[in-house]
Every structure is written in C-alpha cells, then in structure tokens.
C-alpha cells in the first residue's frame, strides 16, 4: 500500500501503460483521477480497477480547460494532489519531408503540451502542500534516432526528448518546494499505440514490428505495460524520496548496447 491515502492524476489512463499504472496505483491504495480522450477505454479501466472511490475526467488534455478540470476535480474530491503521471501520448511515423504543419502541431499538443498544461495547474497545489511527485512518460526515443517501416519517428522522438527535459527543468525549479519531477523512459512496450497510429497495418506487419523490437533488445523481448507501471510507481511513491530530475530507463538493456 505504498500510495495509501495519496491522490494521483493519470492522463491517458484508458489503455496501455496508463491503464496498467491506474491498476497498479489502485492496488497500492491511491485515490485516482483518471483521464482519457476515449470514453469507452476510460470506462473499461475504471471497471477493471473498481470504479468506486475514483474519479474520471474525459477530454483532451492538450486543451487547458481539461487540465484545469483534472486538477480541480482532484482538489474538490480528495483535497489535493500528490502524484501527477503525464502519460497521454500518440505515436507518429513519417519523414520530415512528408510532415505537415498540422501533423507537427497535433503531435506536439498531445505528447508535450498536455504535460506542460497539467504540470502548470498541478504544481501550485503541490507547492501549497509542500510535497508532490510528477512523472513524465518519456522514452528511449528521447535519446536516439529511430526509423520504422522505412520512415522516421523523429517527431515522436522530439516530443519525448521534450518530456525528459521538462522533467529535469521542473525538478530543479521546484525541489525547494518539496516537489519531485522525474521521467520514465520505456523501451518498446506492447501496447496498442502502433495500431492506433496505423489502423490499416496488418496483424502480420504488427507482429513483425514487435518481433524486430524484441530481437534488438538484450533481454530478447519487449516490455509489458505492467513492467513500466512498476517503474512509475517507484518514482511516484516515497520510496524514491531522494530522486528528482532523473530519467529512469526501462528498456531491457536497449540503450546499453
């Protein structure tokens, strides 16, 4: 029960790492305020963890009104915010020469602007109570160039580098106020993200992507969402009380090569 009595906001909680984190946090005693753009996915997560005692705030967290509602709901229902997990994000595979301004703005908004907005509204409440932990979902893509299916993931990589640097910058600024900020950097993790990025990709092609990702990982496989949730739990809990401004890499050894 490492989060007993604590209130946590999790964005992108309807599926993948966000849903796994919600499940783990609930098992550890947290009171949750969950967000996702997809109402059906969010309902499924709440059903899985047992919806009683938790709150939901649907909507797009790249819109400031949604970020404000998340924080306001946590404060009204539970009296404050102890943990913010900035998890909402989308994948993007396209070379820069084929990327429109609208593509750039859209991916930046979901993957990075949402973290800015949620942190902007959560930090004053954490400063007020003298404590808090923010965890940004970055990636191994924060550190390396990558390609998939003959095209670049550069825009996704840029947003994840931004997520990592946002954590570092907020960590140094708010450490004296008792607010810790860190990033988790997963390697390839078996979620539905690449399916959402390209719903027309065949099952065989998707399986080949996962097989290839596992093949270049020293541990010989991709991660499960629950394994990333365990790392997020560590940074959210008091077990990491002397950890701030860090990037916890959870990649099966990929970056160690």
Instruction: State the pLDDT at residue 177.
Output: 98
Q: What are the tokens at 92?
A: 């993007």
Nearest to 42 by CA among 53, 56, 26: 56
Is the CATH code 3.40.50.11900 the one for domain 7-191+224-247?
no
- The answer to whether the CB of 45 falls within 8 A of the CB of 36 is yes
DSSP string, 153-204: -HHHHHHHHHHHHHHHHHHHHHGGGTEEEEEEEE-SB-SSHHHHH-TTS-HH
Percent of the chain's residues with pLDDT above 70: 100
Instruction: State the pLDDT at residue 139.
Output: 97
Question: Which residues touch 173 (CB under 8 Å, ≥6 apart)?
Answer: none
Q: Which sequence positions are flagged as catalytic?
A: 156
The CA distance from 139 to 136, in Å, is: 10
Q: Dihedral sign, CA of 216, 220, 226, 229?
A: negative
| CA 230 to mean position of chain CA atoms | 13
Cross-strand pairs, 179:
132
Query: How buried is residue 47: exposed, middle or buried, by Cβ count under 10 Å (0-12/13-18/19+)?
Result: exposed
Instruction: State the pLDDT at residue 199.
Output: 79
Which pLDDT tens digits describe the chain residue by residue (257 residues)?
A: 999 999 999 999 999 999 999 999 999 999 999 999 999 999 999 999 987 899 999 999 999 999 999 999 999 999 999 999 999 999 999 999 999 999 999 999 999 999 999 999 999 999 999 999 999 999 999 999 999 889 999 999 999 999 999 999 999 999 999 999 999 999 999 888 777 777 787 888 888 888 888 899 999 999 999 999 999 999 999 999 999 999 999 999 999 98
pTM for the predicted model, two decimal places:
0.95
The CA distance from 95 to 249, in Å, is: 26
| CA 191 to mean position of chain CA atoms | 13
In the chain, where the domains are located: 7-191+224-247
HSE-up of residue 158 (Cα within 13 Å, Cβ side): 16
C-alpha separations of 54 from 111, 245, 249 in Å: 25, 29, 29
């Amino acid at each position: 029960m490492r989060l007993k009595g604590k209130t946590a906001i999790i964005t992108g909680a309807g599926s993948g790492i966000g849903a796994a984190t919600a499940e783990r946090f609930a098992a550890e005693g947290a009171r949750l305020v969950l967000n996702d753009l997809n109402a059906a996915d969010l309902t499924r997560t709440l059903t899985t963890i047992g919806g009683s005692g938790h709150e939901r705030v649907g909507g797009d967290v790249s819109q400031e009104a949604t970020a404000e509602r998340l924080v306001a709901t946590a404060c009204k229902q539970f009296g404050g915010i102890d943990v913010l997990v900035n998890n909402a994000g989308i994948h993007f595979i396209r070379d820069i020469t084929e990327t429109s301004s609208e593509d750039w703005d859209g991916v930046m908004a979901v993957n990075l602007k949402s973290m800015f907005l949620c942190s902007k509204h959560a930090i004053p409440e954490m400063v007020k109570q003298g404590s808090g932990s923010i965890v940004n979902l970055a990636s191994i893509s924060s550190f390396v160039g990558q390609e998939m299916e003959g095209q670049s993931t550069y825009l996704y990589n840029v947003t994840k580098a931004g997520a990592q640097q946002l954590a570092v910058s907020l960590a140094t600024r708010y450490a004296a106020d008792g607010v810790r900020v860190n990033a988790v950097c997963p390697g390839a993790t078996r979620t539905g993200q690449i399916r959402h990025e390209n719903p027309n990709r065949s099952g065989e092609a998707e399986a080949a992507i996962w097989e290839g990702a596992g093949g270049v990982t020293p541990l010989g496989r991709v991660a499960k969402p629950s394994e990333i949730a365990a790392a997020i739990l560590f940074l959210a809990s008091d077990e990491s009380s002397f950890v701030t401004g860090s990037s916890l890499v959870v990649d099966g050894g990929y970056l160690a090569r």
